[in-house]
């Protein structure tokens, strides 16, 4: 997977921490958490739990917004949104899709997410939207 040093986000979004995991990269921009999964992984409670714990440990009690930047093709177990729904500091979920199939998949995921959920065509729009929930 190509490593991104920083995203091309507007001024005011500073990369604070980067976490490389076996299933993808996590980028912390203050309260905006961007996840980019590796090609072909299955993202579920089981595969993502340790990442969630590391993120919550880093963020503490601060509110945050999760943005899935889908630069690669991977699978999501939508039923596992029930676990994210219980995280009190998580304010909203954004999904950035770069193709129609990704959009269709995200529409299904939205049905399982109880947090505010929005789909985007680019990361900048998603980050600006997310900042409004902090």
DSSP string, 58-102: HHTT--EEEEEE--S--EE-GGGHHHHTT-TTEEEEEEE-SSHHH
Q: Which of 9, 1, 64 is nearest to 36 (CA)?
A: 1
Q: Radius of gyration of the chain from Cα atoms? A: 13
Per-residue pLDDT of 42-75, as tens digits, reads 898 888 888 998 999 999 999 999 999 999 988 8
- The predicted structure's pLDDT at residue 6: 65
* pLDDT > 70: percent of the chain: 96
Residue 5 has pLDDT above 80, yes or no: no
Reading the block at residue 13, the tokens are: 């979004």
Write down the mean pLDDT value for the chain.
91
| Confidence band of 2 (pLDDT split at 50, 70, 90) | very low
How many CA atoms lie less than 13 Å away from 88 in the CB half-sphere?
3
| Choice between 4 and 80, residue whose per-residue pLDDT is larger | 80
- Measured between alpha carbons, how far is 84 from 90 in angstroms, rounded to an integer? 8
pTM here?
Answer: 0.91
């Amino acid at each position: 997977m190509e490593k991104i040093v920083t995203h091309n986000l507007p001024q005011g979004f500073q990369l604070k921490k980067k976490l490389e995991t076996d299933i993808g990269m996590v980028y912390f921009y203050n309260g905006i958490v961007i996840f980019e999964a590796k090609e072909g992984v299955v993202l579920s409670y089981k595969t993502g739990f340790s990442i969630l714990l590391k993120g919550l440990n880093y963020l503490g009690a601060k509110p945050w917004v999760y943005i899935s930047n889908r630069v690669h093709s991977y699978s999501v177990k939508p039923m596992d949104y029930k676990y994210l729904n219980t995280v009190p500091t998580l304010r909203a979920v954004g999904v950035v899709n770069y193709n129609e199939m990704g959009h269709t998949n995200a529409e299904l995921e939205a049905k399982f997410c109880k947090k505010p959920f929005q789909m985007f065509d680019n990361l900048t729009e998603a980050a600006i939207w997310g900042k409004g929930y902090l």
